Structure 1
Amino acid sequence: MEIGIIGLGSMGREIARNFVAAGHTVTAWNRSGGHVDGVRMVEKPAQTLEADMALTMLSDDSAIRSVLLDTNLLSQARSGLVHVVTSTISAAFALELVEHHRKTGIAFVAAPVLGRPDVAAKGELNVLAAGAPAALEKVKPALEVISKHIWDMGKEPPTAYAAKIACNMMITMAIEAMAEAVVLTETNGLARERFFELILGTLFGSRPYQTYSGNIIRSEYQAGFKATLGLKDLRLAKEAAADATRVLPMLDAVHGRMQEAVEAGFGDRDWSAIAKFTLDQD
């Protein structure tokens, strides 16, 4: 399959490598340049649309709007192209993308992913896929290369993005929950290593607890998923809650904590750095 990629950040590079290793022909455009072995880098994003499938991995709504919508880029796409957007975007913007794709006659598949760059490198992402069944079937072989499971989120792309935003919201809540639990247990003499041994072996053994408990134990927050991106996703969750005219108090709390971490200079550190502000408080 011929695959075009728009955006080669830390996730995009790993995904591109896996496509190449699986025998696909990959063309990529990145605003800041770069190089991936086996990938043909191009100067214009329109060149990535001369493919069977184009995958967009830009950082947010505004970046996609700038590259795709403001330039009417999709009007230059090859007939029959399926456009897959793996970025985490707002459900409201996804609706706008649905209409734009309808007008340009290009199939649109939502495919936000769960997983960090190390998971992407192993080809073990969880893909939350939504779109027309025929379009999904066409790109499924490529999505299988990068995933351990493709989750069917239905026919409407906004649904997949709402699910991804909700997942990231829950991960930040888990990080904050672990930090608050350590405050209670550590001040009463139980080492955090022993406490996490308990919860990982009993009540909370899922990947977010396994991954981020290690960061909390070591008090080390090297970037995996940046706090700035975590803050962006929590902002999207707050916008979705406002659109639903609902108050979500736990969301408000973790959004405030993430904002605190970014303002304190932790924006380029891992989003689990929000735990630091609970653990280090006087």
Structure 2
Amino acid sequence: MQVGFIGLGAMGTAMARNLIAAGHSVRAWNRSGNPGLDGIEIVSNPADAFHGSATFTMLSDDDAIRTVLLDRGVLALARPGLVHVVTSTISVAFSEFLGRVHADAGVHYLAAPVLGRPDVAARGELNILVGGNRDAIEAVQPLFAVLGKKLWEMGPEPAQANAAKIAVNMMITMAIEAMTEAVSITEAHGLSRETFFDLILGTLFGSRPYQTYSSNIARNQYNPGFKATLGLKDLRLATEASGDRDLPMLRAVHGHMQAAINAGWTCNGFVPVCNFFYAALASKASGLILPR
């Protein structure tokens, strides 16, 4: 299948490499040039990546997609009937807007944000949350099969998939917040992190976020893993999607992330992979224990 790709960052590169390995022809546009992918054709104009059967876009946010695709009039130059799959984490409102402009251009639009980091993408084991027309989903099913281990259909409206992804990202930050605050209590009473995490993982909280981030907290290893600004963006998107609903936990984690960025608790724009800075920041006001 002839596939276009917009955005070859860490995630996009891993996904494009898997498509190439599966025998698909990939034409890509990337703001920073060729990342050195064998078998990929780099084009000079993003519109040139919209002439095949499907095009995947993996850009950082609403503004990036607007600048790269909409401001350049790319959709008007796309092959009629092409399926455009936006795998970025974008706002619900912008996704709804994309649905309208794609319909006007005669291009099928699917929102398909993914769950998984670059190493998961490289293994072709992403969880893909898709929203949109069922026929369009079927048309690109062979590509989804290459990129992910499971496709989760969220509903007929693309924005439903974006709402699900935003909610998931919010819940991950809340899980991290819960673990850091819990450890601040247990360590204050002499209980080791390892003992406490063995308890919660073996009883009520055995999901992957708890497994992954508790391990980092227990080992006191906070290697950079995700841009703080993108984490804050995800929480902002959740706040916007909540409308006038009062979500106090979201307010709390959003405030802590913002405070961490304001305080300079980053490494070249990244936060520690387990985000234990939540407890450290809170310690200034409430006496929570700092990372040991």
TM-score range, shorter chain: over 0.9
Once residues 202 and 212 of structure 2 are traced to their aligned partners in structure 1, the CA distance between those partners, rounded to angstroms, is: 14
Q: CA deviation at 1:269?
A: 2.4
**1:146 aligns to what?**
147
Letter in 2 for 1:4: G
Percent of residue pairs bearing the same amino acid type: 59
**2:164 aligns to what?**
163
SS in 2 for 1:210: helix
Once residues 280 and 24 of structure 2 are traced to their aligned partners in structure 1, the CA distance between those partners, rounded to angstroms, is: 47
**1:205 aligns to what?**
206
The one-character-per-residue Cα deviations of 1:19-49 (angstroms, maximum 9, x if unpaired) are 1111111111111122222211121111111
Q: Does 1:125 align with 2:123?
A: no
Letter in 2 for 1:252: R
Once residues 196 and 38 of structure 1 are traced to their aligned partners in structure 2, the CA distance between those partners, rounded to angstroms, is: 45
When residues 140 and 23 of structure 1 are mapped into structure 2, their CA distance, relative to the original with a 3 A threshold, is: same
- Judge which range, 212-221 or 148-157, deviates more: 212-221
SS in 1 for 2:55: strand
Q: CA deviation at 1:170?
A: 0.3
Letter in 1 for 2:172: I
Q: CA deviation at 1:229?
A: 1.0
SS in 1 for 2:226: coil
Q: CA deviation at 1:279?
A: 4.1
Letter in 2 for 1:261: A
Once residues 8 and 38 of structure 1 are traced to their aligned partners in structure 2, the CA distance between those partners, rounded to angstroms, is: 14
The 5 A counterparts of 1:29-68 are 29-33=29-33, 34-68=35-69
The one-character-per-residue Cα deviations of 1:47-80 (angstroms, maximum 9, x if unpaired) are 1111111000010000101111111111111222
User: Does the aligned pair in 2 maintain the 1:51–1:81 contact within 8 Å?
Assistant: yes
Letter in 2 for 1:24: H
**1:107 aligns to what?**
108
Q: Does 1:5 align with 2:5?
A: yes
Q: CA deviation at 1:272?
A: 4.3
User: Does the aligned pair in 1 maintain the 2:83–2:108 contact within 8 Å?
Assistant: yes
Q: CA deviation at 1:177?
A: 0.3
Letter in 2 for 1:96: F
Once residues 110 and 223 of structure 1 are traced to their aligned partners in structure 2, the CA distance between those partners, rounded to angstroms, is: 28
Letter in 2 for 1:196: F
User: Does the aligned pair in 2 maintain the 1:29–1:42 contact within 8 Å?
Assistant: yes
- Give the TM-score of the pair, scaled to structure 2: 0.92
The one-character-per-residue Cα deviations of 1:210-230 (angstroms, maximum 9, x if unpaired) are 111122123333233322211
- Give the TM-score of the pair, scaled to structure 1: 0.95
Once residues 53 and 239 of structure 2 are traced to their aligned partners in structure 1, the CA distance between those partners, rounded to angstroms, is: 36
**2:290 aligns to what?**
none
The one-character-per-residue Cα deviations of 1:73-117 (angstroms, maximum 9, x if unpaired) are 111112221000000011100111011001100000110001111
Q: Which structure: greater helix fraction?
A: 1
Once residues 215 and 275 of structure 2 are traced to their aligned partners in structure 1, the CA distance between those partners, rounded to angstroms, is: 14
User: Does the aligned pair in 2 maintain the 1:35–1:41 contact within 8 Å?
Assistant: no
The one-character-per-residue Cα deviations of 1:156-181 (angstroms, maximum 9, x if unpaired) are 00110000000000000000000001
Once residues 118 and 137 of structure 1 are traced to their aligned partners in structure 2, the CA distance between those partners, rounded to angstroms, is: 26
**2:25 aligns to what?**
25
When residues 118 and 29 of structure 1 are mapped into structure 2, their CA distance, relative to the original with a 3 A threshold, is: same
Q: Does 1:260 align with 2:259?
A: yes
Once residues 19 and 137 of structure 1 are traced to their aligned partners in structure 2, the CA distance between those partners, rounded to angstroms, is: 17
- Judge which range, 214-223 or 153-162, deviates more: 214-223
Once residues 224 and 12 of structure 2 are traced to their aligned partners in structure 1, the CA distance between those partners, rounded to angstroms, is: 16
Once residues 80 and 158 of structure 1 are traced to their aligned partners in structure 2, the CA distance between those partners, rounded to angstroms, is: 20
Q: CA deviation at 1:118?
A: 1.2
**2:275 aligns to what?**
274
Once residues 222 and 264 of structure 1 are traced to their aligned partners in structure 2, the CA distance between those partners, rounded to angstroms, is: 18
SS in 1 for 2:253: helix
Q: CA deviation at 1:271?
A: 6.0
Once residues 274 and 261 of structure 1 are traced to their aligned partners in structure 2, the CA distance between those partners, rounded to angstroms, is: 9
Q: CA deviation at 1:133?
A: 0.9
**Unaligned residue ranges in structure 1 (runs of 5+):** none
